[in-house]
Amino acid sequence: MAQNITLMGASYSDVPSVTLPKTGGGTASFTDVSDTTAAASDVASGKYFYTSAGVRTEGTSSGGGTSNWTLLGSTTLTIEASNTTSTTSGTVSCGSGAYTKDDVIWVHIRGQSGKRNGYFYGSDTIFINHQKANNSTSTFSAPAVEYIRVSSSGAYTTATGSYGVYGYSINSSGTVTIRQRYNSTNTLTINDKFDVYVYKLTMPTGKTLFT
């Protein structure tokens, strides 16, 4: 964006940048960035940009290309349970961004102790919010895909409510509920500390899952 400036008593119109000599030789360019529209969530994590106020800011997006995964929230849960019914282990506050019709929500859970033999170690739950597409504000609790990860054997699909710790629901305020279920007939244990991350996949411009 160009600005009208006064330099050394002289006025200049529509100046987009100024190049000045450096003390040690060479030149330095100072560019007006007041028309910047990017937010931290638009820029890849570890990369820097300047906001419209000229503030150097690090990006937070974990994705790239035309679709971007953005971290909405995270927590750590300590699970010590032997109950045989599904119970709430905790919640993650993710804001309204977790409840939009054009996005996919990924709840990524991993035990801190890793792939120990005889232990449940994590899950991945993918939510596609068709209820929001129909203007519903009720709690969304039907994941499209869920992977339960057990011991060192890898992953297998399972229905919600099965063994382990998993993303269970998302309500209209963006609160993601995490549940646990221990099956006493299964020799595996779920006792551990679990890191929980909730990501949003923003669809490319002009693309949607619903139209």
Distances, alpha carbon 57 to alpha carbons 17, 82, 165, in Å: 20, 45, 35
Banded pLDDT at 60 (limits 50, 70, 90): confident
Yes or no: say if 48 and 60 are a contact pair by the CB < 8 Å rule: no
User: How many residues are listed for the chain in this entry?
Assistant: 211
Encode pLDDT of 121-172 as tens digits.
Answer: 888 888 886 655 455 666 766 666 777 776 655 555 444 345 788 898 888 8
Residue written as tokens 């170690």? 121
Rounded to two decimals, the pTM is 0.61
CA distance 78 to 29: 52
